[in-house]
Structure 1
Amino acid sequence: MKKFSIKQLLLYLTYLLFILYGPIYRDISVDELKVDYSNKYSKFINVDNLQVHYRIEGEGTPIVLIHGTASSLHTWDAWTAELKKTNKVIRMDLPAFGLTGPNATADYSIKSYTNFLNKFLTKIEIDTFYLAGNSLGGNIAWNFTAEHPNKVKKLILVDASGLRTNKPQPAVFKLAKTPLLSDLFLYITPKFFIKKNMREVYADDTKITDELITRYHKMALRDGNRQAFIDRARMDFKLGSKANLEKLKSIKTLTLLLWGAKDNWIPLDNGKRMDSVMQNSKLVVIENSGHVPMEENPKESLVILKSFLSNE
């Protein structure tokens, strides 16, 4: 019989309590979510039998924005509002998340995501571009750049994953990997659980609005997204493997590493290690920011980004 530590038992007990007292939430259809979370710029395109939700706004040099785990293209709203004045801004809901939802294979490996990104950009006829990604999106972005160096003019990694964090995994990922609890997660996903995760992701709790929590909560309830989150969390990305490090080292593209100093999920130390490995990178730290600076500190992060893009 498997033995559990006191810490593990307390963690499981905590989740059992919220399961016992939390309401059951039904899945929400994508058509229902479109009412609130699509707009005049929203389009849908078939990629690998998925109806991928994406938006293209503005004119100029294309910049592609990739969100992180459990997020959606909406995380880039503030950046898009400013960047579309000078650039063609392209963003999409990744497979497993947002309005796009799960794929049929349940393959959410980084290789699967880079293949998806390449097919998507080919379909919308975008050849060369700036590429930015946050968290999981950053991991996809730097792997894509290593695989397609001639397509990416400049690379922007915002609190990107891809190296070991030397910290315990966030509780939400532990839950997704835990038998029984992960099965119950398919039916019981209370808003306070989403709020708890947001408080871990943000440095300034006062910026966590009810509207923000509701958006993340409803996107989590999109038909199939909860199972997809579990499937993605269980993927072995082999963080920090020798092959991954060599791949990261191979990137010659000019790279901005933008990091929140108070990131509790992927700490600043990861940004420093990534900067030490990459050939042509610059690390810039936003002091009062957590894991999603483009969402939590859009004005400050945009100043840094625009300076990076304007310097040839």
Structure 2
Amino acid sequence: MNNNFKENMNFPNYWNWKGFKICWSVRGEENEIPIIFLHGFGASRKHWRNNLEFFAKRNCASYSLDLIGFGESDQPGIRQIGRLNNEIWCNQVRDFIAQVIRPKSSGKVILIGNSLGSLVALTCAVSLEDQIATVIASALPDQIQGNKKTLTNKDVFKKFKDRFIKIFFIFFPLEIILFLITKLGVIRLGLNTAYFKKDNINSELIDLVTKPVLRKTSARSLRAMCIGMSLRDEKLQTSYLLSKLSSSKKVPFLLIWGDKDNFIPLFVGKKIANFHRWVKLKIVPNSGHCIHDEDPSVFNNISYEWIRDLKTL
């Protein structure tokens, strides 16, 4: 990788979002086609270190963003921000487009996400569909239902369940858990599960994932995420969002899935493509959960071919 680009990633730009410090990097900012790369859970903008330059050389203004709570962005807790979920991260992306990208480009924005970042991209595609050219999602989390689920829980039970979840995570010793995770090699174990090609798990990758966890504010932010994601409204879940997007089909949607994904198995991607025929599924053999980092050249070429053929730009 280009050394200048490494420096670019290590010394990010800062953006003030609602009083919180947000980190972001860009390559080819003067280019015409804006792309935002959205990382997965536990990762950061640096997880796209093998992707941004490829797109920057192809007339794309390639932005990578640390979602709030991750990377080098602020890690607020419940008292500072309330619950953290894909609605909050979608709002962050929306304002990033308005305040950082729009002064330089009026074009539709491409969103490329991995795992949690894919869910955030899908959320943005629904709420900002007139501004989004396409979504490229590398694995998409959440349960997938073919038909709209009928809610049978009574309001009283739901309130009890929500309160129990909130109390549980407030008192659950996340500070101790995160300390043990960093000391007992759990991060390396997790990466070994996520990556099919083990040679890609090097000190740079481990450092990328470990550093944010070592920050003093990481536990409080994780607590806000656990509560926020567990208590999300149905309208923030993948099945509902895909159904909502299906009704307009304004945003072309590409799924890129590794056939060796142990975190979100391939059958989930096939289920999505079966229920929503307008979604294109591309399967990458012998690749795991993080194709963009495990097989960057394959991921980059599949994504660029899709972008090149778009009619919405």
Given the two structures, how large is their TM-score scaled by the length of structure 2? 0.78
Contact 1:98 1:222 in 2 (8 A): no
Cα separation, partners in 2 of 1:248 and 1:142, compared to 1, 3 Å: same
Deviations 1:208-258 (A, max 9, x none): 112211221112213312331233134345689587423312321111100
Residue 64 of structure 2 corresponds to 91
Q: Which amino acid aligns with 2:50?
A: A
The structure 1 residue matched to 2:272, chosen from 263, 271, 274, is: 274
Structure 2 residue ranges without an equivalent (≥5): 1-5, 146-167
Letter of the structure 1 residue corresponding to residue 114 of structure 2: N
Deviation at 1:177, TM superposition (A): 5.6
Q: 5 Å matches for 1:275-294?
A: 275-278=273-276, 280-294=278-292
* Residues 191 and 214, structure 1, Cα contact 8 Å, conserved in 2: no
Instruction: Judge which range, 77-86 or 207-216, deviates more.
Output: 207-216
The 1:234/1:72 distance shift into structure 2, 3 A limit, reads same
1:232 to 206, 221, 225: 225
1:109 matched residue in structure 2: 85
Gaps of 5+ in 1: 1-34, 166-175
- The question of whether the paired residues in 2 share the 8 Å contact of 1:271 and 1:283 is answered with yes
Aligned pairs for 1:196-235 (under 5 A) are 196-235=189-228
Contact 1:70/1:229 (<8 A) preserved: no
TM superposition shift of 1:198: 0.5
The structural deviation recorded for 1:68 is: 0.8
Q: Equivalent residues in 2 for 1:57-68 (5 A)? A: 57-58=27-28, 59-68=31-40
* Structure 1 residue 274: Cα displacement: 1.9
How many residue pairs match? The answer is 267
Question: Percent of aligned pairs with the same residue?
Answer: 22
Aligned to 1:124: 100
SS at match of 1:273: helix
Tell me the CA shift for residue 37 of structure 1: 8.8
Aligned counterpart for 2:262 among listed residues 244, 251, 264: 264
Mapped to 1, the partners of 2:89 and 2:173 lie a distance apart of: 27
Q: Does 1:143 align with 2:123?
A: yes
Structure 1 equivalent of residue 47 of structure 2: 75
Give the Cα–Cα distance (whole angstroms) in 1 for the partners of residues 54 and 209 of structure 2. Answer: 23
Equivalent-residue separation in structure 1 for 2:231 and 2:268 (angstroms): 15
Are 1:51 and 2:45 an aligned pair? Answer: no
Match of 1:134 among 98, 104, 114: 114
- Deviation of 1:273 after TM superposition, in Å, equals 1.8
In the superposition, relative to structure 1, how do residues 243 and 99 fare at CA in structure 2: closer, same or farther (>3 Å)? closer
Q: Is 1:66–1:133's contact at 8 Å kept on the other side of the alignment?
A: yes
Query: Would you say the 8 A contact 2:123–2:236 is kept in 1?
Result: no
Amino acid at match of 2:275: V
Shift of 1:129: 0.9
Q: Give the root-mean-square deviation of aligned CA atoms.
A: 2.6
